[in-house]
Amino acid sequence: MSHGNKNQAAKVKEISGTNPLKCMKCGKCSASCPAFDKMDIKPHQFVSYVVNEDVEALAKCESLWVCLSCFACVERCPRDVKPGKIVDAARQIVVREKGGNYLSANEIPELVEEDLPQQLLVSAFRKFRR
């Protein structure tokens, strides 16, 4: 295991303000998740990846871009582990790197519809890029 991964795992814990070791693996987060079907790494697994300091796998996973931060997992976690905050921290680590943006401004004209609310665009820009 590289030092990079160890540092990255520490960073995830720091900016998410969570303690993944508190997880008792009940799976309630994944059972609550409305994006579960689309996730390659499920919310409860996300927590284990951070415990095992394998942030490299998290940085490449599809789940980063389908988590909605709807906070169903955070609200229902009986151990207050906050899986949604862990996913968001991993996403931040990716988009803060050069070339890490998931959404480009050039894509917007093709994606926009007539009555699409501004709220959607500002939210997507905050979540998908720096």
Binders of another protein in range 96-125 (CB under 8 A): 102-103, 111, 113, 115-124
The phi, psi pair for 92, rounded to 5°, reads: -60, -40
The DSSP line for 77-117 is -TT---HHHHHHHHHHHHHTSTT--S--GGGHHHH--TT--
Neighbours of 120 (CB within 10 A): 12
Between CA 72 and CA 68 the distance in angstroms is 10
Binding to another protein by residue 71, rule CB under 8 A?
A: yes
**Cβ of residue 55: shortest distance to another protein, in angstroms?**
15
Residue placing its CB nearer to another protein in the complex, 57 or 124: 124
What length is written for the chain?
Answer: 130
Which of 6, 14, 26, 27 touches another protein (CB under 8 A)? 14
Count the residues of the shown chain that bind another protein, applying the rule CB under 8 A: 39
Which of 10, 21, 26, 68 touches another protein (CB under 8 A)? 68
**Cβ of residue 31: shortest distance to another protein, in angstroms?**
13
- Is there a contact between 28 and 36 (Cβ–Cβ < 8 Å)? no
Contact residues for another protein (CB under 8 A)? 14-17, 34-35, 37-38, 65-66, 68-72, 74-75, 84-85, 88-89, 92, 102-103, 111, 113, 115-124, 126-128
